[in-house]
Each structure stands twice: as structure tokens, then as C-alpha cells.
Amino acid sequence: MSITQILFWILTVAALLSAIMVVSSKNPVHSVLWLVATFFAISGHYILLNAQFLAVVNIIVYAGAIMVLFLFVIMLMNLNKSAEPIKNRWLQIVGIVSGGCLLLVLVAALKNTEVAKNIAEVNTGDAGLIKTLGKELFTTFVVPFEISSILFLSAMVGAVVIGKKD
């Protein structure tokens, strides 16, 4: 077993474990912290796949910006036990059943697939380097890039307008 495989399995176990902890932990602050752990594990996967740009962006944008936003909002409204909403029991049952149905469909669809002939190779290729990605981004994908900047601007204005004291 090479060192890459060992790293892959460690990262996979960490990502799955922390993702389960995100969903199952009662305290929302703990949930956010487990989500940060998940993002670090997924960034490790990106590095293993030689997508360094996405790994760095994942840490900066997700673990840095979005999770801090989540933490601020959760700490802003001090959620305690008494403010916890009463959950509908039927809603939980329906959720379990529909999730089980989705799992069943996915397992049934993936059961007969043969192992792919194309393998995602680790440590090779320069598709994930900043140079190639930047060249593509500013030549082929320049229009979606500009549109996404407008989307960001509108989201910013919308957040300010919604969050403003009326």
C-alpha cells in the first residue's frame, strides 16, 4: 500500500466521519466546527487529485468565509434548549422513508455498473494548476465569470437590504 493510498483512506474516513457528525450533533456550533473539518478533508482530496487551485479556494472561501458567517449568525441568535422548535413526528418518519428510497435507488443503479476503464489518476496532470485554469477562465469562460460577478453584487445588495433595520 503506497503512501498515497494510505492518505486517501485517512482522508476518506475523516471526511465521512465528520460529515456524519455535522448531521447528527445537537449543538449547531459543534455542527459548524465539524463542517470545517469536513472541508479540510475534502481539500486534502483535491490536493491528492492535483487540483491545487480548488483546494486553496475551498479552504479560503468555505472554511474561511462561509463558516465564519455561519458561526456569527448562530452566535448572534443564542439558540438554547427552550428555543428549540418542536419537530413533527410524522415529518421525521417521512424524511427517513424518502431518504431510504433515495438510497435504494442509488444502490440499485450503481449495483450493475462495471468498474470504469478511466481511472482518476492521482498526482498527475496539470488541469488543476492555477495557470491552466486561469487561462481557461479568462478566455473560454469569461462571460460566465462576469455574470457571476453580477450575481455576487446582487446577492450583496440583497443581503444588505434584507438585513437592514426597517
Partner 1 sequence: MCIELMLNSVNLLLVAFSKMQAAKDAAVTVAGTDGQLFVFFIMVVAAAEVSVGLAIIVMMYRNIHSVDINFLNRLKH
Site residues (vs partner 1, CB under 8 A): 19, 22-23, 31-32, 35, 38-39, 42, 45-46, 49-51, 53-54, 57-58, 61-62, 65-66, 69-70, 73, 76-77, 79, 83, 85-86, 88, 116, 118-121, 124-128, 132-133, 135-137, 140-141, 144, 148, 151-152, 154-156, 158-160, 162-163
CA distance 11 to 43: 9
CA distance 73 to 46: 29
Smallest separation, CB 19 to partner 1 (Å): 6
Smallest separation, CB 86 to partner 1 (Å): 8
CA distance 37 to 20: 11
Count Cβ neighbours within 10 Å for each residue of 60-79 and write b for 16 or more, e otherwise.
eebbeeebeebeeeeeeeee
- Closest to partner 1 by CB, 104 vs 134, is 134
